[in-house]
């Protein structure tokens, strides 16, 4: 699960490269690349944009969808 804002000068390019590497390896990956958000939007609490506030729930959904919470 990868999450980043496109306008994050530090980290958006490495995340896209990591996504490419996962895909080339045939590994399962889910990526959320938000248009805006800059760097360090944290768990969404400090996010200025509504979409960013929901990314922790998207992560939870990904865990559930991939059976990572199985007992």
pLDDT tens column, 43-71: 888 788 888 999 999 999 999 999 998 87
Cβ neighbours around 1 below 10 Å, total: 15
User: Which has more confidence, 21 or 44?
Assistant: 21
Q: Is the pLDDT of residue 37 over 80?
A: yes
pTM of the model as a whole: 0.84
pLDDT at 25: 98
Q: What is the DSSP string of 20-43?
A: HHHHHHT----EEEESS--S--TT
Distance between CA atoms of residues 45 and 16, nearest Å: 24
Map residue 56 onto helix, strand or coil: helix
pLDDT at 9: 93
């Amino acid at each position: 699960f990868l999450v980043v804002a496109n306008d994050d000068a530090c980290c958006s390019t490495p995340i896209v490269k990591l996504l490419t590497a996962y895909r080339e390896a045939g590994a399962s990956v889910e990526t959320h690349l938000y248009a805006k958000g800059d760097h360090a939007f944290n768990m969404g609490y400090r996010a200025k944009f509504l979409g960013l506030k929901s990314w922790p729930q998207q992560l939870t959904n990904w865990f559930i969808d991939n059976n990572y919470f199985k007992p």
